[in-house]
Amino acid sequence: MLDKACKGYPRKLDVEINGVWPLDILIPKFLTLSDHPSPKMRAHAISCLSYFVPIGSQSLLTHIDTFIACLFKHASDKDPSVQRHVRQSLVLLLESRPDRLIPEMANVAEYMLHFTKNKNKNVALEACEFWLTFTFTRDPNLTAQLRPLLPKVAPVLLDCMVYSEDDLLRLDGEADNVVVPDKETDIEPHYYGGKARESDHEGGDGQPKEKRVGAYGEGLGGEDDEDHDDDSADETSTKWNLRECAAATFDNLAVRFGQDLLSVSLEPLKSRLRSEDWLSRESGILALGAMAKGMHP
């Protein structure tokens, strides 16, 4: 119940009541519970803490170093749910407080790269969101951190762009439904490129909007997000997958690094385009399109 309250109404919990800030009490409790013997309790504790990252809760910021140490401690937790919340928290920290991750960025990057290669597509998508968030950074210090990672990141993203079995099954299902009238949401334009994703992050003045897409494609931001429509969220989640996330990330990298990305991607792309496997060739064409769009706005 407390986990749901933290998730649904983080701003309403971050208030002062009779001179007391409840989160000043809850945050230390959650940090203590992150070491609980029960993996379920550990997962809930880290999950609750993560919900206060996007809103910039001062109660959490007071303990931010302890929270980051907690995430590194449980990065290799044996429980998949705990690991999932650790990855989500790192993505949210990268988006909201990247300065706190810079000292450990090399370790964080290797950790996320490992999971981006995971055979479980949901796990890989969670990790790929980290790289997508990374590409939106305007911090020159973070850009400097990302550039030397390109030779490792680019090939992994290319692998993520290959249609999975689930993708192919979904395509077959769409073909079977060709005679069924489309819903309005089915015919909305789909944007996989960096510019489209960036429009979700920026307002007309180039500054971040309150309502943004964060880790795993969920909406982040202002109070309006607290009264979200669960059905709408489920519908959106079916549109966003690993292939699309990787393509959007590749596009953003092309915008940011241009020739540097081309240099590390050229040989892998040539190999894919010459492959006898049509799935590999198709992913190469997708990557070329993303790169061309990013390098030539």
Question: Number of structural domains, the chain?
Answer: 1
Residue-wise pLDDT for 85-104, tens only, equals 999 999 999 999 988 888 88
211 within a domain of the structure (yes/no): yes
Position 137 confidence tier, pLDDT thresholds 50, 70, 90:
confident
- What domain range is 239 assigned to? 149-297
Name which residue leads in pLDDT, 139 or 216: 139
Mean pLDDT of 193-221: 42
The lowest-confidence range among 34-43, 200-209, 247-256, 286-295 is 200-209
277 within a domain of the structure (yes/no): yes
251 within a domain of the structure (yes/no): yes
Whole-model pTM: value is 0.74
120 within a domain of the structure (yes/no): no
Residue-wise pLDDT for 245-260, tens only, equals 999 999 999 988 888 9
Residue-wise pLDDT for 151-178, tens only, equals 999 999 999 999 877 777 777 655 554 5
Q: Transcribe the chain into DSSP letters.
A: -HHHHHHH-HHHHSS-BTTB-HHHHHHHHHHHHTT-SSHHHHHHHHHHHHTTTTTT-HHHHTTHHHHHHHHHHTTT-S-HHHHHHHHHHHHHHHHH-HHHHGGGHHHHHHHHHHHHT-SSHHHHHHHHHHHHHHHT---HHHHHHHGGGHHHHHHHHHHHTSPPHHHHHHHHHHHHTTTSPPPGGGGS----SHHHHHHHHB-TTSSBPSSEE-GGG-EESSGGGGG--HHHHHHHHTT--HHHHHHHHHHHHHHHHTHHHHHHHHHHHHHHHT-S-HHHHHHHHHHHHHHHHHH--
